[in-house]
Chain A
Amino acid sequence: MSEETKALESLIGEDYKYGFTTDVEYEDFPKGISKDIIRELSSRKDEPEWMLEFRLKSYHAWLEMEEPEWFNATYTKPDFENLLYYSAPKNRPSLDSLDDVDPNIRETYNKLGIPLEEQKMLAGVAVDAVFDSVSIFTSFKEKLAEAGVIFCSISEAIKEYPHLVKKYLGSVIPARDNYYAALNSAVFSDGSFCYIPKNTICPMELSTYFRINNMESGQFERTLIIAEEGASVSYLEGCTAPMYDENQLHAAVVELVAMDHAEIKYSTIQNWYSGDENGKGGIYNFVTKRGICKGNHSKISWTQLETGSAVTLKYPSVILQGDHSIGEFYSVAVTTKKQQADTGTKMIHLGKNTRSTIISKGISAGESNNSYRGEVKIGKKAIGSKNYSVCDSMLIGQTCGAHTFPYISSENASSSVEHEATTSRVGEEQIFYLMQRGISEQNAISMIINGFVKDVLKELPLEFAVEANKLLDVKLEGSVG
Chain B
Amino acid sequence: MEFFHKVPNINFLKARKLAMGMSVVVLIIAVVSLFINKLNFGVDFTGGVTVQVAYPQPAELRQIRDTLAAAGYKDAIVQNYGTPEEVLIRLQPKQGVSDKDTGSAVLTALQKASSSVKLEQVNFVGPEVGKDLATKGALAFFLTLTGILLYIWFRFEWRLALGGVAATLHDVVFTVGFFSLFHLEFDLNVLAAVLAVMGYSVNDTVVVFDRIREDFRITRKGTPFEIINLAVNQTLSRTIITSGVTLLVVIALLILGGPVLHGFSVALFVGIIVGTYSSIYIASATALMLGVSKKDLMVVVKEDRNVDDMP
Pairing of A with B:
no
